[in-house]
């Protein structure tokens, strides 16, 4: 029987060394394995949404993931036959190998060099186009498509029916353990070559146009509501539900930069999602 989340939290706390140079006991390896298994089953996750809709990290889960790296040793994980004649070789910590998927996982993993790491939750109906990568601690909801050359970083939270387009980067936030997670909620479209980093929260049904880059320090100008969205040290940057965001620019107002006619990259909310947007961003069902 799997341990409860509270029991897992206790075991992780007990397994962490209390002083520098302390050695790990066998109970640490068992606790880490149980945590990674619970993450894969969706029984625990690295971030949760509270009753007010705010996303918060779950520090003990992150500490457990970090413990997995501290416990692990680098081993040869190359498949049988790799070597001079079959040069597909790789070496990683033995505690966080690629995750084992089976047909009954109901995850469509198209061949071509993709990897899903141990300790990730990947729901039934997820489609993975090659090559893409999902890192430890991430959560990927049902019906989501992760396209070619896309990254879902460690502990990132991706909702249901999201399209993470080709070459998009969803950053991971593993340290510090209480740092805000990167969150992309349900039914979001993340355009090609987008980057979502540093604890940014993209609310449900938003659309990020190709090339949009979002960080905690990025100001986002809302032309519809005539306001500016910013993150801070205390709170993440949040993109409103249904917002359609495209790359933009704002001119440098004074000094040498203004004399040179320079402008700074700035994402801009140009509209909010409507039927026309839904038609333009729809994925054919047969692709899933």
* 207, β-bridge pairs: 189, 244
Average pLDDT, the chain: 92
pTM greater than 0.95 (yes/no): no
Domain ranges of the chain: 5-17+25-75
Residue 44 reports pLDDT greater than 60: yes
The model's pLDDT over 199-238, given as tens digits with 9 standing for 90+, comes to: 899 999 999 999 999 999 999 999 999 999 999 988 999 9
Average pLDDT for residues 253-280, to the nearest whole number?
A: 91
At 234 the pLDDT is 85
The model's pLDDT over 160-180, given as tens digits with 9 standing for 90+, comes to: 999 999 999 999 988 888 888
CB neighbour list of residue 237: distance below 8 Å, 6 or more residues apart? 198, 199, 200, 201, 214, 215, 216, 218, 220, 229, 230, 231
Strands, sheet with 127-128, edge to edge from the N-terminal-most edge strand? 108-109, 127-128, 145-146, 163-164, 189-190, 207-208, 243-251, 263-272, 220-222, 227-229
Q: How far apart are CA 85 and CA 75, in angstroms?
A: 20
77 pLDDT band (50/70/90 cuts)? Answer: confident
Q: Which fold has domain 5-17+25-75?
A: 1.10.166
């Amino acid at each position: 029987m799997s341990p409860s989340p509270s029991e897992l939290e206790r075991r992780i706390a007990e397994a962490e060394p209390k002083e520098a140079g302390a050695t790990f006991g066998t109970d640490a390896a068992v606790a880490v394995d149980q945590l990674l298994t619970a993450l894969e089953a969706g029984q625990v996750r690295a971030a949760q949404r509270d009753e007010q809709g705010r996303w918060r990290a779950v520090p003990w889960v992150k500490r457990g993931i970090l413990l997995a790296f501290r416990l692990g040793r680098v081993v040869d994980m190359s498949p049988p036959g790799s070597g001079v004649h079959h040069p597909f070789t790789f070496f990683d910590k033995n505690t966080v190998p690629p995750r084992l998927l089976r047909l009954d996982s109901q995850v469509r993993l198209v061949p071509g060099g993709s990897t899903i790491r141990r300790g990730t939750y990947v729901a039934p109906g997820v489609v993975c186009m090659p090559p893409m990568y999902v890192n430890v601690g991430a959560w990927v909801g049902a019906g989501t498509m992760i396209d070619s050359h896309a990254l879902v970083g460690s502990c990132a939270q991706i909702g249901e029916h999201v399209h993470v387009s080709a070459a998009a980067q969803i950053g991971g936030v593993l340290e510090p353990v209480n740092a805000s997670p990167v969150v992309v909620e349900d039914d979001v479209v993340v355009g090609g070559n987008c980057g979502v980093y540093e604890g940014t929260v993209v609310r449900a049904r938003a659309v990020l146009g190709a090339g949009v880059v979002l960080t905690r320090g990025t100001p986002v100008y809302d032309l519809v509501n005539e306001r500016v969205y910013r993150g801070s040290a205390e709170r993440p940057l949040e993109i409103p539900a249904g917002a359609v965001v495209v790359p933009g620019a704002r001119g440098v107002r004074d000094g040498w930069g203004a004399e040179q006619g320079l402008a700074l990259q700035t994402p801009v909310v140009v509209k909010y999602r409507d039927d026309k947007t839904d038609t333009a961003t729809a994925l054919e069902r047969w692709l899933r």
